[in-house]
């Protein structure tokens, strides 16, 4: 059984976040530290936790009873807590019949660190202590244990060591050997846990586990608590730097990383979609989306429980009349998807295709429309993410409007990040998705419709039951409702994300995207990486990167994933040779810088490995 001993026995000299002097109960981002620790241990695979209390033990018991815990917890009281944590280990000694992990309740650390220390090779009679060599980067270093190192062993340990080689996050793997030693020593003299570890270290019995790039913090002061909340906001609840199921920074083109505010909105309340409160939510979404689309009050805006592809299918199947043709402009994978959607609904497609990534021949569009009066609508992708290029929606819109046809635009991955105006761009139907540059959760598409297009289909039979936008218009106009049960909580996340967008302003959001993409591309080039970027038509949210020579996409993907970053393989002919890095979502410059550091390490390690491989001589 994987077991952990959690020390919640101390009295803090400083009051932290209204918890009195009980450090274990200080709240960080809404949760007491003791609860966060237990959830981290559960995520790490710990099967049983022994919480040792001391000062104000009843308050800790009450907290443990007040929260849902996925891990079995046994509470043990240390009556001699004033004499230190050595007595806490003795109090828990009945559960230390094998190697266990010992953690303080006032630290934050990722689950991967627990797994690593449990699996770290060391003699059974040794202690394994987590050590961070980045002494200068440790917040409030004075409050932490420090060590001197000799290779992988710790030679000395204490609070006041001068010029330390490392600082301790407080995570220790112990065994019954330490318990026996403490019992013998405490019979003769009062000794602290640190003193006993120092004695073992001087005998070469304390091994070091280098935490490397792990994020952790000791919550020893109000300032440390505030810094911990910033870390959680930036990196997620688990502070994970390696992806193992808990948390990863999403640098794929959707779904995207979201803010705590958006995450909180998903679970803010339970809401019936036939109640007035949901109608208010839907009205709010419509008003805010109109501002982002830059639409007029006369434009209809619908919110559909579907992906961006579902939104495009609703637009195509609703607005291309039976017996008419649909001209599709395509220079990538998602342009080809428009054709596939239309063909499923038996719509005749006029392909206007060029090789992936090439500029659309807009100069030929006018002649094509004039030559075929049966073309009722033109479809195009604004941001073709498969090639990270922007297509000239304004120019196409002018030609389509002059010819009296309808323009349907996929702005799934551009709305919120790129210049788009459904009025000045002459877009009749514009579709977007919540989970890309709007920074909300997956599962909601929005469709903005110009009032002039409804007359084109007033006598048409529907092609789809669920996706017929006439149903959505009828329900929205009559009672601010949806015709079917919607993804209520996902819409709540979109509402919060739109608030965040409008708080900073659409133009400021676009400038932020431009800054992030410029920083990303400059950093990748400085690492010697080759980019597939068209300077005149490049988007500001996706960058296509060539896999370095001597490496595979799997090398890049797995190396980054182990460091907490998810990227995408490119599509079509680029698959295997190129990959995509998206700066979509709730990202800041620090995230780009940390990603660049991570990919630099992945490339460096791959090169070091290739240089270490022996060269086989060929014999004549």
Question: CA of 615: how far to CAs of 548, 606, 610, 612, 620, in Å?
Answer: 21, 16, 10, 9, 16
Phi first, then psi, for residue 391 (nearest 5°) are -100, 150
Question: CA of 64: how far to CAs of 37, 53, 70, 74, 170, in Å?
Answer: 11, 12, 11, 10, 22
At residue 245, the pLDDT reads: 40
Place of tokens 């297509």: 391
Cβ atoms of 9 and 55 within 8 Å: the answer is: yes
Q: Any idea where the domains of the chain sit in the sequence?
A: 3-235, 281-502, 506-612
pLDDT tens, residue by residue, 316-342:
999 999 999 999 999 999 999 999 999
CA dist 362 and 383 (Å) reads 16
CATH of 506-612, one of 2.40.160.40, 3.30.1130.10, 2.40.50.100, 3.90.1150.10: 3.90.1150.10
User: Could you tell me how far CA 507 lies from the centroid of its own chain?
Assistant: 24
Q: Which of 308, 387, 382 is nearest to 571 (CA)?
A: 387
Q: Looking at residues 564-588, what average pLDDT do you find?
A: 93
pLDDT tens, residue by residue, 12-41:
665 555 555 688 888 888 889 999 999 999
Apex CA 33: angle with CA 29 and CA 35, to 5°?
100
For residue 67, give both structure tokens: 């929260």
For residue 470, give both structure tokens: 């006439």
CATH of 281-502, one of 3.90.226.10, 3.40.640.10, 3.30.420.40, 3.40.50.2030: 3.40.640.10
Q: Looking at residues 455-471, what average pLDDT do you find?
A: 93
Q: Looking at residues 45-70, what average pLDDT do you find?
A: 91
At residue 241, the pLDDT reads: 64
pLDDT tens, residue by residue, 471-502:
999 999 988 999 999 999 999 999 999 999 99
The backbone region for 136, taken as left when phi is positive above 0, alpha when psi lies in -120 to 50, beta otherwise, is alpha
Residue 453 has pLDDT above 90, yes or no: yes
Architecture field, domain 3-235: Alpha-Beta Complex (3.90)
Handedness of CA 349, 351, 356, 361 (dihedral sign): negative
For residue 490, give both structure tokens: 């996902």
Cβ atoms of 403 and 369 within 8 Å: the answer is: yes
Residue 610 has pLDDT above 70, yes or no: no
The backbone region for 318, taken as left when phi is positive above 0, alpha when psi lies in -120 to 50, beta otherwise, is alpha
Q: Which of 169, 167, 69, 52 is nearest to 110 (CA)?
A: 169
Mean pLDDT of the chain: 90
pTM: 0.66
């Amino acid at each position: 059984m994987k077991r952990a001993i959690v020390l919640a026995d101390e009295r803090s000299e400083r009051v932290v976040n209204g918890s009195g002097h009980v450090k274990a109960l200080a709240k960080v981002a809404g949760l007491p530290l003791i609860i966060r620790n237990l959830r981290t241990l559960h995520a790490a695979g710990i099967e049983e936790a022994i919480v040792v209390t001391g000062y104000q033990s009843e308050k800790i018991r009450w907290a443990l009873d007040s929260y849902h815990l996925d891990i079995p917890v046994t509470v043990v009281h240390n009556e001699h807590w004033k004499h230190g944590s050595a007595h806490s280990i003795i109090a828990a000694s009945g559960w230390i019949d094998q190697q266990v992990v010992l953690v303080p309740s006032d630290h934050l650390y990722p689950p991967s660190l627990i797994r690593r220390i449990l699996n770290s090779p060391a003699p059974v009679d040794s202690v394994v202590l987590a050590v961070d060599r980045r002494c200068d980067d440790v917040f409030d270093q004075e409050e932490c244990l420090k060590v001197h190192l000799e290779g992988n062993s710790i030679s000395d340990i204490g609070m006041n060591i001068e010029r330390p080689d490392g600082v301790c996050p407080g995570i220790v793997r112990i065994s019954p050997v330490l318990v026996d030693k403490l019992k013998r020593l405490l019979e003769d003299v009062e000794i602290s846990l640190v003193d006993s570890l120092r004695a073992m270290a001087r005998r070469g019995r304390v091994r070091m586990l280098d935490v490397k790039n792990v994020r952790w913090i000791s919550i020893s002061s109000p300032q440390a608590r505030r810094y911990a909340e910033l870390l959680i906001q930036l990196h997620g609840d688990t502070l994970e730097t390696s992806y193992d199921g808990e948390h990863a920074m999403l640098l794929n083109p959707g779904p995207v990383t979201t803010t705590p505010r958006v995450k909180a909105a998903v679970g803010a309340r339970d809401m019936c979609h036939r109640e007035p409160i949901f109608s208010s939510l839907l009205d709010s979404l419509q008003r805010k989306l109109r501002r982002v689309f830059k639409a007029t009050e006369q434009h209809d805006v619908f919110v559909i429980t579907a992906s961006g592809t579902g939104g495009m299918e609703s637009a195509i199947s609703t607005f291309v009349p039976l017996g008419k043709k649909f001209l599709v402009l395509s220079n990538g994978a998602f342009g080809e998807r428009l054709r596939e959607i239309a063909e499923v609904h038996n719509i005749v497609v006029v392909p206007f295709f060029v090789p992936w990534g090439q500029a659309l021949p807009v100069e030929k569009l006018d002649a094509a429309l004039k030559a075929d009066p049966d073309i009722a609508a033109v479809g195009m992708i604004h941001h073709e993410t498969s090639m990270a290029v922007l297509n000239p929606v304004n120019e196409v819109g002018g030609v389509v409007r002059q010819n009296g046809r309808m323009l349907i635009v996929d702005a799934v991955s551009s709305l919120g990040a790129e210049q788009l105006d459904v009025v000045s761009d002459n877009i009749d139907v514009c579709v977007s998705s919540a989970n890309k540059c709007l920074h909300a959760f997956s599962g909601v598409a929005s469709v903005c419709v110009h009032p002039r297009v409804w007359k084109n289909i007033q006598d048409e039979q529907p092609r789809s039951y669920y996706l017929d936008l006439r149903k959505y218009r009828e329900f929205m106009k009559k009672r601010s409702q949806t015709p079917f049960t919607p993804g209520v909580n996902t819409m709540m996340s979109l509402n919060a994300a739109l608030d965040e967008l409008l708080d900073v302003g659409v133009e400021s959001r676009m400038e932020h995207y431009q800054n992030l993409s410029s920083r990303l591309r400059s950093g990748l080039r400085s690492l010697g990486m080759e980019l597939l970027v068209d300077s005149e038509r490049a988007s500001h949210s996706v960058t296509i990167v060539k896999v370095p020579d001597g490496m595979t996409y799997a090398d890049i993907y797995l190396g980054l994933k182990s460091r907490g970053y998810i990227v995408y393989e490119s599509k079509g002919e680029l698959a295997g040779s190129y990959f995509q890095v998206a700066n979509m979502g709730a990202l800041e410059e620090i995230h780009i810088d940390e990603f660049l550091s991570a990919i630099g390490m992945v490339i460096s390690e791959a090169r070091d490995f290739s240089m270490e491989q022996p060269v086989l001589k060929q014999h004549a």
